Amino acid sequence: MTSAPRLVGEQFDDLEQQQEACSLGMWVFLCTEILLFGGLFLSYAVYRHAYPQAFHDASHDAEYWIGTSNTAVLLISSLWMALSVHCARTGRRKLLLLFLALTLIFGLAFLGLKGLEYYLDYKKNEVPGINLPVTDAFSRQKEMFWTLYFFMTGLHAFHLTIGCGLVALILILAWRTGYNAKHYAPVEVTGLYWHFIDIVWVFLYPLIYLPGRH
């Protein structure tokens, strides 16, 4: 089943060292991602603290049912991803292919729903800089919510798009060569990235959809 010519890079002593390095590399990279999103979370905190009423009102207009469905879709996709990693580790190729495909489908479903949500936002004149009407100071403050909404969800969707690309790549590789207990680092590393995207959404969801719902 393992037919790749050389699995261990020439800088490594063995597969184990390589696996450890890849995994640690992804963890460190995810730290940088946290800081990347951190700048936006900080901005959100500052402006929500400054304009609580505007954030409450603007959040009320957000498409909460799409946001909630998307939360469910993404959380389930993370389950498929976790199962994929498990199957890669135990060498169950067919199940691995199935679960990776499910992960990909759920990821794409999220992006589809997100696209629909953006379309509805556009229809309701909520896109700052394009059609959001700004008349007074209060609408300026609401504009800040929408700016941050598009920035944060947009950056998240961009990451998810990359995640879908990675899963597709892993799917092709798994179909061609398969992974086993010794060599499954690519699946694990992609899984880490996928879960990270999921976790970011877990924080985004309450910040965007819930302030206006209590």
Nearest approach, Cβ of 142 to another protein (angstroms)?
9
Query: Nearest distance from residue 18's CB to another protein, in Å?
Result: 8
* Closest CB to another protein among residues 4, 36: 36
- CB of 128: closest distance to another protein in angstroms? 5
> Residue 55 or residue 99: which is nearer to another protein going by CB?
55
> Under 8 Å CB-to-CB from 164, ≥6 apart: which residues?
104, 107, 108, 111
CA distance 66 to 153: 13
Q: How far is the CB of 139 from another protein (least distance, A)?
A: 9
Q: What is the DSSP string of 95-160?
A: HHHHHHHHHHHHHHHHHHHHHHHHHHHHHTT--TTTT----SHHHHHHHHHHHHHHHHHHHHHHHH
Chain residues binding another protein by CB under 8 A are 9-13, 17, 20-21, 24-25, 28-29, 31-33, 35-40, 42-43, 46-47, 50-51, 128-130, 134, 137, 140-141, 143-144, 147-148, 151, 155
Considering beta carbons, is residue 90 or 131 the nearer one to another protein?
131
Tokens of 166: 């990675």
Asked if 159 and 197 touch (Cβ cutoff 8 Å), the reply is yes
Complex with another protein: residue 144 or 157, whichever CB lies closer? 144
